[in-house]
Amino acid sequence: MFELRVATVTKNLKKLERKNPRSVATALYQEGLELMAESMRRTPVETGTLQKTHRTALPKWRGPFVEVAIPAGGSKAPYAVPVHERLDVFHNPGQAKFLESTILESAPHLLARIGERLHEEIF
């Protein structure tokens, strides 16, 4: 049942993407902002710098596909990867895998949420 619904939503999103690609990109960007906000809540805080480096990039088209990146770290927090990856370090507040866990937990619902955003915009 769930697989069928995901397949149907995916099919409908692809149709919408062809007809109105800007709306799909906007909905994906809005989801990216929400994922970023949750990841920031989960980010370990010592000085607050790593938390502040999160951003949601504007949608980019790669052929027929649109993507939205959510980078964190960079030159302002070059220690982001070890903080994210080390499971043997206790963080209070925050946790390891702050971005990955957010995305993995959201993945089963992401298509439905994007579909809802598009439905609200179109209808």
Q: What's the alpha-carbon Rg for the chain, to the nearest Å?
A: 16
pTM exceeding the 0.85 threshold for the entire prediction: no
Q: Strands, DSSP E only, in 1-123?
A: 60-62, 65-67
Q: Over the stretch 69-100, which tens digit does the pLDDT of each residue have?
A: 999 999 999 999 999 999 999 899 999 999 99
Nearest Cα to Cα of residue 36 among 54, 20, 50, 12: 54
What single letter denotes the amino acid at residue 89? V
Note if the bond before 93 is cis, omega within 30 degrees: yes
Q: Over the stretch 9-40, which tens digit does the pLDDT of each residue have?
A: 666 666 666 667 788 899 999 999 999 999 99
Contact predicate 17/61, CB 8 Å: no
Query: Domains of the chain: which residue ranges?
Result: 2-122
